[in-house]
Amino acid sequence: GAGVSQSPRYKVAKRGQDVALRCDPISGHVSLFWYQQALGQGPEFLTYFQNEAQLDKSGLPSDRFFAERPEGSVSTLKIQRTQQEDSAVYLCASSPVAGGHQDTQYFGPGTRLTVL
């Protein structure tokens, strides 16, 4: 079946612009995660959804970052008034349910955001 997809794959924004990044998880997957990966670094957790409920948003760096998953499927990560330090690859991952083998997270290709 289809894997996790993300769009756009690349986004260039001018400082101060708002951006919206989309994630389509694997069909039927309950859990959805957003990570931020700076160049040469490991992923950093941003936020986590179980169905439409946002259970953890402790990793969102500021109130300019907002994520939603209104119908428990597709998710959007929105960044308002982008800053240069927001430049990174944004990874989305999904997993079937919590617990056991279902805890394995499957990743999308990422969206590379460059803020000029």
Q: How far is the CB of 34 from another protein (least distance, A)?
A: 10
Sign of the four-CA dihedral 106, 8, 65, 42: positive
Q: How far is the CB of 73 from another protein (least distance, A)?
A: 18
- If the CB atoms of residues 36 and 82 are measured against another protein, the closer one turns out to be 36
Give the length of the chain: 116
- If the CB atoms of residues 45 and 66 are measured against another protein, the closer one turns out to be 45
Site residues, another protein (CB under 8 A): 31, 33, 35, 41-45, 48, 50, 55-56, 59, 89, 91, 93, 95, 98-99, 101, 103-110, 112
For residue 9, CA distances in Å to 16, 26, 90, 94, 99 come to 20, 17, 10, 17, 30
Residue 34 and residue 49: Cα distance in Å, rounded? 9
Q: How far is the CB of 56 from another protein (least distance, A)?
A: 6
Q: How far is the CB of 17 from another protein (least distance, A)?
A: 23
Contact predicate 93/108, CB 8 Å:
yes
